[in-house]
Amino acid sequence: MKQILKLKIEKLALGGFGLGFSEGRAIFVPYTAPGDEVDVLITHQRKDHAFGKANHFHQHGAAYREPECEAFGAEVPCGGCDWLMLDYPAQVKAKQALVEEMFSPQVDSRLINPTLASPKPRHYRNKVFMPVGKLPGTGKTGYGIFSRYTHTIVPHQACLNHPPVFDQLAKSILEACEKAGVAAYNEAQHRGNLRHLGFRSSSDGKQVLVILVTLSAKLPFSNLLVKKITAEFPQVCGIVQNINRQRGNVILGEETKLLYGSDSLSDTLSDLRFELNYRSFWQINTGTMENILCSLRAALKPQSVVLDAFCGIGAIGLSMASQVKRLALLEENPQAIADARLNAANNGIDNLSFYTGRFEALLPQVIAELNPDTIIMDPPRSGVDAQSLQLIAEKKIKQIIYLSCSPITLLRDLKLLKAGGYKITSLQSFDMFPNTWHIECLAILSLS
Residues assigned a catalytic role: 405
Say if CB 35 and CB 94 are below 8 A apart: no
Let me know: does 72 contact 78? Beta carbons within 8 Å: yes
Among the residues of 235-333, which ranges form H helices? 286-299, 315-320
Spatial distance between the Cα atoms of 194 and 187, rounded to a whole number of angstroms: 11
Mention every residue, 6+ apart, whose C-beta is less than 8 A from residue 389.
413, 416, 417, 420
As a whole number of Å, the end-to-end CA separation of the chain is 54
Give the 3-state DSSP-derived string for 398-413, with helices as H, strands as E and coil as C. CEEEEEECCHHHHHHH
What is residue 385's three-state secondary structure?
coil
Interatomic CA distance for residues 45 and 3, integer angstroms: 12
Q: Specify the pairing of strand 326-331 against strand 352-356.
A: parallel
Distance between CA atoms of residues 383 and 406, nearest Å: 8
On whether the CB atoms of residues 71 and 144 are closer than 8 A, the answer is yes
Geometric angle at alpha carbon 298, from 293 and 303, rounded to 5°: 105
Three-state DSSP class for residue 93: helix
Among 386, 384, 393, which Cα is nearest to 358's?
384
Q: Of 141, 140, 167, 136, which is closest to residue 152 (Cα–Cα)? A: 136
Of 320, 335, 283, nearest in space to 401 by CA = 320
CA 79 to chain CA centroid, Å, is: 14
Q: Where are the beta strands (DSSP E) in 31-98?
A: 37-45, 49-59
Q: Are 42 and 67 in contact (CB under 8 A)?
A: no
| R_g over Cα of the chain | 23
Q: How far apart, in whole angstroms, are the C-alpha atoms of residue 280 and residue 331?
A: 12
Residue 124 backbone dihedrals phi, psi, to 5 degrees: -90, -20
